[in-house]
Structure 1
Amino acid sequence: MSREDYCDRHTWASVGVVARHDGVGRIWECENCPVWTTETFDRAHEQAWDDTWLAER
């Protein structure tokens, strides 16, 4: 598929989460072509595991 075959306007779908050396991010993939991107999560919104009700399970 050549670059000209890519969408002019992408339809994004969240397809997963990835952990990288620079943090955690969501993977977004276009539903109509092979383009994808990552959105890095903002560390300011991170909550420590021990501070969640899940840690008590």
Structure 2
Amino acid sequence: MSGEEICETHVWASLGVVSRQGAVRRIWECERCPVWTAEPFDPDHELSWDDTWLSER
């Protein structure tokens, strides 16, 4: 598959997270073609840092 072809069924791999316009987003890239996306995290699932076990370290 050349770099310009887009596959019909993407195989997504998470590359990490970024902050865009004040919102945290996870970056996903297809393993078969050059397509990628930045999906926002669900704010309803956000947990305050102070409420995690990591804050005690």
Q: Deviations over 1:25-51 (max 9, x none)?
A: 111100011100011001111011011
Matched length: 55
Counterpart in the other structure of 2:17 = 17
Moved over 4 A (4+): none
Q: Aligned equivalents of 2:10 and 2:52: distance in 1? A: 36
Task: Give the unaligned 5+ runs of structure 1.
Answer: none
Report the aligned-residue RMSD.
1.2
Between the aligned residues of both structures, percent identity stands at 62
TM-score by length of 1: 0.83
TM-score by length of 2: 0.83
Task: Give the unaligned 5+ runs of structure 2.
Answer: none
